[in-house]
Structure 1
Amino acid sequence: MTYKLKIKNAINPRSIKTQQPMKKIKTALLSYGMSGKVFHAPFLEFHSGFELLGSWERSKKLIQLDYPDVKSYPTLESVLEEDVDLVVVNTPVGTHFEYAKKVLLAGKHAIVEKAFTTTVAEAEELAALAKEKGVKLSVFQNRRWDSDLKTVRQVLSDGVLGDIVEAEFHFDRYNPNLSPKQHKETANAGAGTLKDLGPHLIDQALYLFGFPNSVFGDVRITREHSLVDDWIDIVLYYDTFRVRLKASFFVREAIPAYQLHGKKGSFLKPRGDVQEDDLKLAKKPNLDRWGKESIELEGIVHTDIDGSTMHGKIPTLQGNYYAFFDGVYNSIANDTIEPVTAQDGVRVMQIIEAVIQSSAQKKAVYL
């Protein structure tokens, strides 16, 4: 038996590009590694409202191999001297505050990768500076538009589980080896799973459930020779329910990434979004099959609907990171709110700092 989600005001992906934007937003990247190549440039090229000018490249000059008409900038200053409207700060976390501050002071709009900053104070300063300068500042939380989370959000919206008692989100993998990227494995303010996968999990929880009353966190190092945290267990305390967030490098047999239990029933969903894998294979965003995962990864619902027990699959909604960039375009061109605001980024950092404090003190921290 299959439950059909009650999707209201859904965007038809076929209609996304029917209206050609009047204004081109000139955009530059601050890095063309995996993030720039996989998550940003393909959508900036695909969206008719953006013009990709190029990227700051320190050593390897790669962007022109994929986009021959763009520039490779030698310095951040050369980017900011350009006639650029929007700058994507997609460099290591420890540099986000410094670079984003320079971008905002130059009067440019900004997208900042996660983790937004390394501290709450830095996040609040950037949010205040963007407001002072009258520019848009958005945090790149693309996983709000994963097929998994979109489906979870719709299940909650439909109310088929009743009042939520508990939810548990996982971002697990099996990889005992250290990353070859030195900035990820060197002890610094921006390194570690809490500021890598943690912002995704925390942002998703806050997006769905709002800000909690208190937080308990346990942060560990589990890989041999690791200098940075690689295992996190976070509990968010709400008035009538709890949300648990976990990430580990030692989960060889995956469990459902999304587990929701309500007073009427449960919903279990494995992680299945295909966008990152497709982008890594150099597949280009499109309007038809993009973001549609395999039916084998559909979630299972077991609940009561209209007095009858329902136990079966729920078709997964289509994921689309394009929606984030479309939201950024509208925020700049039409002065709407950013798809993920700077204040959203501040709240995530507040949770991260509370988790660090809780783990050190081995007790819950009130917010």
Structure 2
Amino acid sequence: MNEIHVGLIGWGSAAATFHAPLIRATTGLRLAAVATRSPEHVVPLVHATCGPQVRVTSPEALIGDATLDLVVVATPNDSHFPLAAAALAAGRHVVVDKPFALDFAQARALAAHAAAAGRQLCVFHNRRWDGDFLTLQRVLHEGVLGRAVEFVSHFDRFRPQVRSRWRERPGAGTGLWFDLGPHLLDQALRLFGWPSSIVLDRAVQREGASTDDWFSCRLLWRNGPHAGLRARLQAGMLVARPGPRFELHGRAGSMTVEGLDPQEDALKRGEDPAAPGWGHDSRERAWIWRADGARVPVLLQAGDYPRFYAGVRDALRGLLPLPVALDDALAVQRLLDEGVHSAEGRCDVALDFLA
């Protein structure tokens, strides 16, 4: 396979901010078409951003376009399953924005469709390439902090006004748990593997909000190399002064990270992900706290969102595995489901192995 022709379904924030620039920055990929339900309104935006050579069409026409090798689904969550299933049935490889689907049954069905069609299927868990997370992962692997006992991950914002967008309206797959939960769950799984139990508390905090805009998720590992470890994953929309993004506590010390990875803001500013120095963060915002009370600054690794589509390209060429294994994406979806069950039942949900 030489140049891989890509069709992108959707032109909302996920497609325009993340997928389109990252696809265009990846050598060997060509963004050939964009699809929306209102193509006539989107044509000027797409052409201004991506160039006049990019076709703008409907989702059905894009999926049926045999010149495309890869279809990227970056649409509202309730459309992920039907669009991805149709693209796989049409013989396309598929990338789906997070969350994978509305529930584990849909996600597992898509995996089965991909296997039957002999096509590649991958989920866009880009936050595993945040520079601060890559640094935290390295520190944990090096054993600098000793055996980990507690992990705290916050993704907080201050957005007191409810916006008129599908993510903040009632419906399947909306709300903050389905928006930011996949990021935090994927990162926790990358660090520590499959947990033993999950507890989720969700709330509606803002005036006029109609779906969850705050959550706190607790995970526990009872067995294996991280036995006894506890994690708290939390996000809210009414946090005017956010605390640490990450806290990792071990028997030999702690690590804290303040602030957010800069890549999303850089993409929103229109910066080129292929430019030299992409993802570099010179701010001093990560420290190791040693048992003797010393605070040691930690140099952050550069973030690397471009690695996702470079990995997809190499997987389609048969050179490397997918950058996000299908089993990893299924595990995140299973935890999303079990979190919902926990919140609805107000209970601790024991987790068997992923099946």
TM above 0.5 = yes
SS in 2 for 1:250: coil
Quick check: 1:127–1:343 contact (8 Å CA) kept in 2?
Answer: no
Match of 2:305 in 1: 321
Note the alpha carbon deviations across 1:104-129, whole angstroms, 9 max, x for none.
11111011001110111000000111
Aligned partners of 1:54 and 1:323: how far apart in 2? 22
Match of 1:9 in 2: none
* 1:198 paired to 2:181: yes
Match of 2:87 in 1: 103
Could you say what the CA RMSD is over the residues aligned between the two structures, in angstroms? 1.5
Amino acid at match of 1:198: G
SS in 1 for 2:206: coil
* 1:283 paired to 2:266: no
In structure 1, which of residues 297, 302, 315 is the aligned counterpart of residue 289 of structure 2?
Answer: 302
Greater displacement, 127-136 / 280-289: 280-289
Quick check: 2:149–2:229 contact (8 Å CA) kept in 1?
Answer: yes
Counterparts in 2 of 1:107-118, with a 5 A limit?
107-118=91-102
Quick check: 2:284–2:297 contact (8 Å CA) kept in 1?
Answer: no
TM-score (normalised: structure 1): 0.90
Note the alpha carbon deviations across 1:31-77, whole angstroms, 9 max, x for none.
12222222112221221110110200322222122221110113423
Give the Å deviation of 1:27: 0.4
Amino acid at match of 1:227: S
Gaps of 5+ in 1: 1-21
Match of 1:136 in 2: 120
* 1:35 paired to 2:14: yes
Match of 1:6 in 2: none
In structure 1, which of residues 209, 220, 234 is the aligned counterpart of residue 217 of structure 2?
Answer: 234
Gaps of 5+ in 2: 223-227
Q: Which runs of 4+ in 1 moved over 3 A?
A: none
Note the alpha carbon deviations across 1:291-347, whole angstroms, 9 max, x for none.
1123232x010125xxx8752100010001111111111111125321112322211
Quick check: 1:172–1:249 contact (8 Å CA) kept in 2?
Answer: yes
SS in 2 for 1:284: coil
SS in 2 for 1:161: coil
SS in 2 for 1:143: helix
Greater displacement, 92-101 / 342-351: 342-351
Amino acid at match of 2:254: S
Amino acid at match of 2:193: G
Counterparts in 2 of 1:317-356, with a 5 A limit?
317-334=301-318, 336-356=320-340
* 1:210 paired to 2:196: no
Quick check: 2:201–2:215 contact (8 Å CA) kept in 1?
Answer: yes
Quick check: 2:63–2:90 contact (8 Å CA) kept in 1?
Answer: no
State the identity %: 36
Quick check: 1:25–1:86 contact (8 Å CA) kept in 2?
Answer: yes
Quick check: 2:196–2:221 contact (8 Å CA) kept in 1?
Answer: yes
Aligned partners of 1:81 and 1:38: how far apart in 2? 24
Quick check: 2:9–2:59 contact (8 Å CA) kept in 1?
Answer: no
Aligned partners of 1:212 and 1:78: how far apart in 2? 40
Give the Å deviation of 1:286: 2.9
Amino acid at match of 2:266: D
